[in-house]
């Protein structure tokens, strides 16, 4: 099995998961494996951009609500709304109640159905509400929430791309990355992200160390439940499912960080 140099993995991660001007130089299974292993790094950069905008608004005199809205908007802008679109399409497919083939066809359509609209509405409201609560406490907790949620969202993609998870279609981004990541590698990346979240939380406050680690674990657990449901329902994963997993994990992390 060939190994992917780190730069190729990073290029794949940033080139497929963000709108940053990074050219994907390789589009093969080895590059996809490296890219999915590096996905949390792309999430960290996205989260840092979101946190920077939120904190900058607070420094200019804006209130925590505006900072929360802007922080939630930055990840959408840095992905061209790709993950939110995937969440909406996945909700429409699951909500249709139709057989896998018909549900996948619904997900592939360009329009958004009622299930997708309702899901987007409540997910974005939850994200803004959780971020508002964090910023209302302190700018540091708001920034920490932005970093953890964005990183956890991409960690969910690493775990979903592990070996044994099949693609639902033979083409598309889902098929390109499905099953590329060794289970052991995915678990090592997950452990590293949990440890980093705990370490970052320790800089904010004593209880934030625990909250940070729990938020990542909870995000991955909820995303795993959705992944298993989608795999049973659709016969595998698609690019839309990956987007849905990312938004689900991000929202879960934010909700956990808002508790206590």
pLDDT tens digit string along 166-222? 999 888 778 889 999 999 999 999 999 999 999 999 999 889 999 999 999 999 999
Alpha-helical (H) ranges within 109-205 are 114-137, 139-160, 173-177, 183-204
* Interatomic CA distance for residues 89 and 94, integer angstroms: 9
pTM confidence score: 0.93
Q: Are 243 and 85 in contact (CB under 8 A)?
A: yes
Strand partners, 237: 167
User: Which whole-number Å values give the CA distances from 204 to 15, 147, 211, 212, in the listed order?
Assistant: 32, 12, 11, 10
Q: How confident is the model at residue 1 (pLDDT cuts 50, 70, 90)?
A: very low
The CA dihedral of 26, 174, 82, 34, to the nearest 10 degrees, is -40
- Over residues 107-128, the pLDDT tens digits come to 988 788 999 999 999 999 999 9
> Can you give the pLDDT at residue 256?
97
**pLDDT above 80 for 6:** no
What number is the average pLDDT over the span 239-252?
97
Q: Encode pLDDT of 51-80 as tens digits.
A: 999 999 999 999 999 999 999 999 999 999
Distance, CA of 164 to CA of 233 (rounded, Å): 16
pLDDT band at 26 (very low <50, low <70, confident <90, very high): confident
């Amino acid at each position: 099995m060939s190994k992917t140099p780190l730069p190729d993995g990073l290029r794949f991660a940033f080139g497929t998961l963000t709108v940053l001007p990074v050219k994907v130089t390789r589009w093969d299974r080895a590059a996809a494996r490296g890219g999915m292993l590096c996905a949390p790094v792309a999430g960290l950069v996205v989260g840092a951009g979101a946190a920077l905008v939120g904190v900058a608004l607070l420094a200019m005199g804006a209130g925590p609500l505006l900072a929360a809205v802007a922080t939630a908007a930055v990840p959408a802008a840095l992905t061209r709304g790709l993950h939110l679109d995937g969440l909406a399409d996945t909700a429409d497919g699951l909500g249709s109640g139709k057989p896998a083939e018909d549900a996948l066809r619904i997900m592939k359509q360009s329009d958004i159905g009622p299930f997708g609209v309702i899901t987007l509405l409540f997910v974005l409201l939850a994200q803004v509400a959780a971020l508002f609560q964090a910023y209302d406490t302190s700018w540091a907790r708001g920034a920490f929430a932005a970093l953890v949620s964005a990183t956890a969202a991409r960690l969910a993609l690493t775990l979903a791309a592990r070996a044994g998870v099949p693609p639902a279609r033979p083409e598309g981004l889902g098929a390109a990355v499905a099953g590329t990541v060794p289970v052991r590698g995915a678990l090592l990346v997950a452990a590293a992200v949990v440890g980093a979240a705990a370490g970052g939380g320790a800089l904010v406050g004593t209880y934030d160390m625990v909250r940070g680690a729990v938020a990542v674990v909870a995000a991955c657990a909820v995303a795993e439940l959705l992944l298993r449901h989608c795999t049973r329902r659709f016969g595998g994963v698609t690019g839309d499912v990956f987007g849905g997993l990312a938004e689900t994990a991000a929202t879960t992390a934010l909700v956990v960080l808002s508790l206590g």
